[in-house]
Amino acid sequence: MKGWNKSDMKKTIYNMGYFLNETKTIIKTDLLSNIFSLLCMVLIFFILSLIIAVWRISMYEVKVIEKDAQISVYYDLNLDNNSQAQLVENIKSISGVNEVYMVGKDEAYKRMQEILGDDAQVLEFFDNNPFSPFLEVTIKLDNMNPILESLNKLEGVDFVRDNRQVLSHIKSIVNMISLLGFLFITAAGISTVVIISHIIGMGIQSNIEQVNTLKLLGAPKNFIAFPFLLEGLLLTISGGLISSAFGSLTLSYIYSKMSGPIPFLPLPPIGKLISNLIILLICISAVLGTAGSIFGLSSSREKV
């Protein structure tokens, strides 16, 4: 839209009714192709919405886990109560430690029973409680290394178990999802641009007489191209809207199914997740629609 001024803008606004009518006519001329293009858009954006949702949920998981990062400190069992209390105070004074909670032998046993669920009967094979008491330390994840160093220096500490491996596993899964998401967004972007530019090329071909007449009447390129640009935008934004509706329904269904069997899995609030997803999909579809239309128009620049 090179060299646009206020007057051009005004003309575009009062010609909007004409442009929309033209777009309707262009779509009607190649109705079947436009319907199939719309279906392609819906499918592409639907898969994209699911990938984005999975990625956002994974990011949320990591954040939650990082926020509540816990390490277990096992101490010398010969320590008396006073020494244990002193150890707790010493740990609390380490920078980056949020909370210290003492888990006794019985609680450790109960926790394992809860984790094992139906398989908890395996614990009955032990004559005595096999678990040791420990200190559950909630820390800021960024400070994990200096905290571990400080803990290992403390008197009475036998060994420290951190969850670094679990976290790094989850992080690598998220990274993989991000990479897959990025690859899919790229593929979806290219496919959308190709489909839209192709449908615009067909639209121009079907309306070539009208395009030529407008050229002979001296119509500016922007004026001739605008209805085709609207066609591309209409297809992608409609595709984005329909797919976000399907995506929302699918996510609601998945949430309802997940809340039963795995209630401990922290999930982001569904309302916020869906509203963000809809906004993101509409923005992506608008950008891809514009890009596809411009690409289609520049491919047919000799005709327009």
Partner 1 sequence: MIEAREVCLKYADGTEALKNVNVKIENGDIVYVTGPSGSGKTSLLKLFMGIEYPTSGSLTVLGQPISKGQTSGINKLRRTIGPVFQQFRLIKGRTALENVMLGMRFLDFNKDEIMENSKASLKNVGLEDKISSLVENLSWGECQRVAIARALARKPALILADEPTGNLDRDNAVRILHLLTGLKDKKTTVIITTHATHLIDGKKGDMLIHIDKGSICYERLE
**Binding residues for partner 1 restricted to 177-236, rule: CB under 8 A:** 209-210, 212-220, 223
Task: Return the number of the residue (198 or 303) whose C-beta is nearest partner 1.
Answer: 303
Query: Which runs of E-coded beta strand occur in 34-164?
Result: 70-75, 97-103, 134-139, 157-161
Q: Least distance in Å: CB of 18 to partner 1?
A: 6
- Is there a contact between 209 and 224 (Cβ–Cβ < 8 Å)? no
Q: Least distance in Å: CB of 231 to partner 1?
A: 16
Task: Return the number of the residue (45 or 228) whose C-beta is nearest partner 1.
Answer: 228
d(CA 21, CA 277): 31
d(CA 152, CA 233): 61
Q: Least distance in Å: CB of 1 to partner 1?
A: 14
Rg of the Cα trace of the chain?
30
Query: By CB under 8 A, is residue 303 in contact with partner 1?
Result: no
> How much helix, strand and coil, in percent to the nearest 5, is found in the chain?
75, 10, 15
Write the binding mask 24 to 63 for partner 1: x where contact by CB under 8 A, - elsewhere.
-x--------------------------------------
Which residues make Cβ contacts (< 8 Å) with residue 2, sequence separation at least 6?
none
Task: Return the number of the residue (29 or 33) whose C-beta is nearest partner 1.
Answer: 29
Question: Residue 219, exposed/middle/buried by CB under 10 A (0-12, 13-18, 19+)?
Answer: middle
Q: Least distance in Å: CB of 14 to partner 1?
A: 5
Q: Least distance in Å: CB of 270 to partner 1?
A: 47
**Binding residues for partner 1 restricted to 3-22, rule: CB under 8 A:** 7, 11, 14-15, 18
Task: Return the number of the residue (25 or 72) whose C-beta is nearest partner 1.
Answer: 25
Phi/psi for 170 (5° steps) reads -60, -40
Q: Which residues sit at the interface with partner 1, rule CB under 8 A? A: 7, 11, 14-15, 18, 25, 209-210, 212-220, 223
